[in-house]
Structure 1
Amino acid sequence: MNPDYTVITHPLIQHKLTFMRNENTTTDNFRRLLREISQMLAYEVTRDLPTEMTTISTPLATIESPVISGKKLCLVSILRAGNGMLDGMLDVLPAARIGHIGLYRDPETLEPVEYYFKMPDDIGARLVIVVDPMLATGNSAIAALHRLKESGAATIKYVCLLASPEGMAALRKAHPDVPVVTAAVDERLNEHGYIVPGLGDAGDRMFGTR
């Protein structure tokens, strides 16, 4: 456990992540594994949701039992690869509202360029969980969080599959108030801004575009 971010080392997550890293894993299996890991990460990122007691009747008795209280949820996908995590999150959190941020990385500058932004009107009243498989340079995540805060989001968490030390440091510096949950922090970035050892381009592997 790190004071600035949480790495989930659950054996099931790490087992599935190993198969995602394997270059021989097929597109359909890669997509399925990402969805399954995202379901488990959803449990972790919502671990501290507040609850309140409500009265219900079971077939045998009337009891006080906990239900989730507090802010409602909004899942925000950073397009396009974020949609692979979004599917798994929605399996666990089906009532959450959905937002999308379209960003692509300029291949020369590695800086993010925004092309789409759509959020629920009541974003400020919701706990926002941003999802994107790869935290590489951190530039896209930082830009996405800036836009969300400008749009009124007050409580935000960030969830990724893999992070680089450089990307994690940049994100923590820019947004120290945003908790980060990830399945692994890898060794480094290469000269092209890809995570090493990583798993390649998550979007290409998920959609079969490479």
Structure 2
Amino acid sequence: MRVHVADHPLITHKLTVLRDKNTSSPVFRSLTEELMTLLAYEGTRNVRVEPVTIQTPVAETQGVRIGDPKPLIVPILRAGLGMLEGMVKLVPTAEVGFLGMARDEETLEPTTYAERLPEDLSDRQCFVLDPMLATGGSLAAAIEFLFQRGAKDVTAICILGTPEGLAAVEKAMAGREITIVLGALDERLNEHGYIVPGLGDAGDRLYGTV
């Protein structure tokens, strides 16, 4: 498992505003999209490409384009939806699937309540979007779901993560080809399974529901 924590002043600045409890939902949504585009740049460094010949106004030249089969972007509902637009702006030719996952607040175990994905993901590169890598249970379950359908390799892009969450995913996914890109690695989980210092519940802050 490869882990990349983005280290860029713009990412840190936007994260600081996201963490502020006084940041409104409209600003939170806008900043999440902007932040996601920056993280997606880091997360797509190894996206599969193929050579292509093009004609510029001056001469013929060689370049690359996104290869086939196209990458699949999979936001984890609901909070992952807030990251989707920032990702598809960067990779507009990608396809989009959805996974609905919820965490039991007592057991902290994930359950899948909805999915909209191709039945066969053979040889596909998949990019999972989930703002918070807390206990790691939901993300590990989502990644395993994709591999069971034949995904080739999976990159998870998260705004925040914890050492506990990373350890849980690494243990669950031992031997898999996985990359995790984080905006920041926070200190720890508290007794309720929330990230500290974190930014609260990303879904509630994105959509204004408590």
Q: Same fold (TM over 0.5)?
A: yes
Q: CA deviation at 1:4?
A: 3.4
The structure-2 alpha-carbon separation of the partners of 1:154 and 1:60, relative to structure 1 and needing over 3 Å to count, comes to closer
DSSP-derived class of the 1:15 partner:
helix
DSSP-derived class of the 1:47 partner:
coil
Match of 1:181 in 2: 181
Of 26, 29, 45, the match for 1:28: 26
Q: CA deviation at 1:94?
A: 1.3
Match of 1:160 in 2: 158
Within 5 Å, give how 1:1-210 maps onto structure 2.
4-69=2-67, 71-176=69-174, 177=176, 178-210=178-210
Identity %: 50
CA distance in 2, matches of 1:68, 1:161: 25
CA distance in 2, matches of 1:66, 1:149: 27
Instruction: State the one-letter code of the partner of 2:183.
Output: A
Q: CA deviation at 1:23?
A: 0.6
Alpha carbons 1:98, 1:120 under 8 Å: kept: no
DSSP-derived class of the 1:144 partner:
helix
**What are the Cα deviations for residues 147-169 of structure 1, in whole angstroms up to 9, with x where unaligned?**
11222222211110000110111
**What are the Cα deviations for residues 167-192 of structure 1, in whole angstroms up to 9, with x where unaligned?**
11111111142111111110010111
Q: CA deviation at 1:95?
A: 1.5
Q: Which moved more, 1:58-67 or 1:41-50?
A: 58-67
DSSP-derived class of the 1:89 partner:
helix
The structure-2 alpha-carbon separation of the partners of 1:4 and 1:95, relative to structure 1 and needing over 3 Å to count, comes to closer
The unaligned stretches of length 5 or more in structure 1 are none
The structure-2 alpha-carbon separation of the partners of 1:72 and 1:145, relative to structure 1 and needing over 3 Å to count, comes to same
Q: CA deviation at 1:62?
A: 2.1
The structure-2 alpha-carbon separation of the partners of 1:95 and 1:194, relative to structure 1 and needing over 3 Å to count, comes to same
Number of aligned residues: 208
For normalisation by structure 2, the TM-score amounts to 0.93
CA distance in 2, matches of 1:36, 1:125: 30
Alpha carbons 2:119, 2:149 under 8 Å: kept: no
Instruction: State the one-letter code of the partner of 2:17.
Output: F
CA distance in 2, matches of 1:76, 1:196: 26
Alpha carbons 2:11, 2:38 under 8 Å: kept: yes
CA distance in 2, matches of 1:105, 1:20: 22
Alpha carbons 2:120, 2:149 under 8 Å: kept: no
CA distance in 2, matches of 1:70, 1:115: 30
Q: Aligned-pair RMSD on alpha carbons? A: 1.5
CA distance in 2, matches of 1:187, 1:175: 22
**What are the Cα deviations for residues 85-142 of structure 1, in whole angstroms up to 9, with x where unaligned?**
1111011111111111111111110111111012024422321011100000011111
Instruction: State the one-letter code of the partner of 1:141.
Output: L
Alpha carbons 2:47, 2:125 under 8 Å: kept: no
CA distance in 2, matches of 1:88, 1:13: 14
The unaligned stretches of length 5 or more in structure 2 are none
CA distance in 2, matches of 1:151, 1:53: 28
CA distance in 2, matches of 1:146, 1:53: 31
